[in-house]
Structure 1
């Protein structure tokens, strides 16, 4: 199964284009992400979106946004003028979620209006982690089921 989830920073804003005869929208942007260890350099990757996602990418994301991208990895190979084949990976996005605050511009699709920033829950929450509980909770112990069997009950009688 080819499925990837990547947390990255947009380093080149999405560019929106259309396929021949203006049938399908295609957006491309460049993202960077950190390596697994601090000594590893950051890596860059091209992200491609198709159709409605492509127009949303162009409208909602810009350079500097931190995003989580879901999609599939694709490897493209092409001939170089130097005489060898080069392979490049790209992420074909199926969903993109913003991490830092709100989107960079208003969302045009009504389906995205139900997105709420996690920061809004921090101030309105009645839960206070610093306050200790007043009384410790004790677990409720139920009595185990009775294991005794009656003398009249014959488990060997099967009615068939």
Structure 2
């Protein structure tokens, strides 16, 4: 089984490219994931390369930026290639199947508080007070709870 789930912050803006030929979108990014255990009280993080394909790649590049919190689910994949200097290079990365944006907007609280106030304002338009005895249409007969067999 090869399954990885990560939550971390972007170390830089995602880089969006398109494959030659069919033009499939591919975004590459690096995720800083905090380690659970810290040595000598200092926080430590791992910097993990992530690859996202297709529409998710376009959305990630368009809506996420450096420092944003993001969740990734995918698989670990290794590959190798020959560099320009003739040496063999090995790369281990996470290929994302699912991407979740855990932090939106420009990151300041004023945008979140304005969204909350808009939400609360929209709720105030609903009448939440209990109504007095509701009248039934003539073709609807109210049922007494004792008549229900369960």
The TM-score with structure 2 as length reference comes to 0.60
Deviation at 1:21, TM superposition (A): 2.5
Aligned length: 107
Question: 1:53: which partner in 2?
Answer: 56
SS, match of residue 11 in structure 2: strand
Question: 1:94: which partner in 2?
Answer: 97
SS, match of residue 20 in structure 1: coil
Q: CA RMSD in A?
A: 2.8
- For 1:11 and 1:71, locate their aligned partners in 2 and report how far apart those are by CA, in whole Å: 19
> After the TM superposition, which residues 61-100 of structure 1 pair with which residues of structure 2 at under 5 Å, given as runs?
61-79=64-82, 85-100=88-103
Unmatched tracts of structure 2, length 5 or more: 107-114, 121-150
Q: Report the structure, 1 or 2, having the larger helix content.
A: 2
Question: 1:27: which partner in 2?
Answer: 27
Unmatched tracts of structure 1, length 5 or more: 105-118, 125-160
SS, match of residue 13 in structure 1: coil
The TM-score with structure 1 as length reference comes to 0.57
- For 1:20 and 1:81, locate their aligned partners in 2 and report how far apart those are by CA, in whole Å: 20
- Greater Cα radius of gyration, structure 1 or 2: 1
SS, match of residue 38 in structure 2: coil
- For 2:44 and 2:71, locate their aligned partners in 1 and report how far apart those are by CA, in whole Å: 20
